[in-house]
Structure 1
Amino acid sequence: MPGILTKNDYAYTELRSRILSGDLPAGGVIPQGELAHQLGLSTTPLREAIRRLTAEGLVELSAHRDARVARLSAEEARQLHEVRERIDPFAAALAAEHRKPQDLAEMEDALGRLVPIRSDTSVDALLRHRDFHRAVYQASGNQVLVDILERLWDKADRYRLLGVRATSPDERTDADVARVDAEHRAIFAAVAAGDPVEAELVTRMHIRGSLVRRAISALEGAAD
């Protein structure tokens, strides 16, 4: 167990990672005793982790107090996408207006660490994608907006992973990977240039082609 983490933080990080990776499947009961044993913890920090993840919408508590991984739904994915399509561009526009040299340095660093997201991609690749967008959010200078977007990312991460896994190799072509890379670079360029109109435009285009949209299609197809 990493020494820099408290037991509560360690339990939270591990449980969240297993939910996002799909090791703990959507709708499944979280085996608290078994997990506590695997992590070398008592059930107390695990219960605290479950409480935090319930607040984030990743865990549901039943009437019998069983903790289950929250189910995925096309409707929730659609609502998340609708909100992000409106406020992500707003955050990028604010970033273009308020960015400081340190903000641009952090954005450029995150941009350099991005790796292509393909059908066999890892959770780490998605986290790097999030790091870039988080750097844009932070550059907005609006902490209320940053907090809202962070919570949206917490709920949307599983849908992104589903979108990745629902994408066939034929769909995730080199051209598609190049498009996403160009969009990220265009967002950075617009923010760096202090152009809020362009930053808002390119970010909206980027969100419209997001992995959550692919997850919506996959979930709707599964329901047919």
Structure 2
Amino acid sequence: MKTLILSTAALALGAGMALAQDTIRLGTEGAYPPFNLIDDKGEVGGFEREVGDELCKRAELTCEWVTNDWDSIIPNLVSGNYDVIIAGMSITDERDEVIDFTQNYYPPASSAYVAMDEGVDLTGGVVAAQTATIQAGHVAESGATLVEFATPDETVAAVRNGEADAVFADKDYLKPVVEESGGELIFVGEDVQLGGGVGLGLRESDTELKEKFNTAITSMKEDGSLNELLKKWFGEDTVTY
């Protein structure tokens, strides 16, 4: 799903071995359903909650969940506020220069445009996207005027209130938004493939933790349990392994 640049000094500050701690802290946004959300009990829920809990179980790790705003999610990983990002974060070369990634647990999938009118200009108009996402980067290079918002809900609201002609985001995020709009919102234009799928983000120094999670992800792919969760949260027609 979702370009933050950090200095080498900041990266060094965050260096450390997460496995030296008793508890591994999983950082997520809690505002990007169905990837991650805050449920009626005020707890982290969604696809990534189920995936994260199962990965920790298989890796024999004690884990706790921490929420963090998207625009500071990489800096706060590096500075040690948590040990893992599990927040719909797409694997990109730019991010990989700052942090490390596991293999993907959500395959490369489509981003899409949603608008209130089929005739909107996607390359010359105004397009909303969430700040610091690969979708925002794509819009900035497309010729359209990019308007950025801190949360995905605000990007959709911008279309509804006329601040933007369209919103560009992960298609799996936009599907339920469109379905629940009663025809007010529609998909427009062509889908776009971006990124290398979604992976866990870790500090470069946490190589042992990365290996544990990679092993757990592989086991979920091999036994089909990851595909079951993908279908549960994104529908039977979603891309699987």
TM-score by length of 2: 0.24
Higher helix share: 1
TM-score by length of 1: 0.26
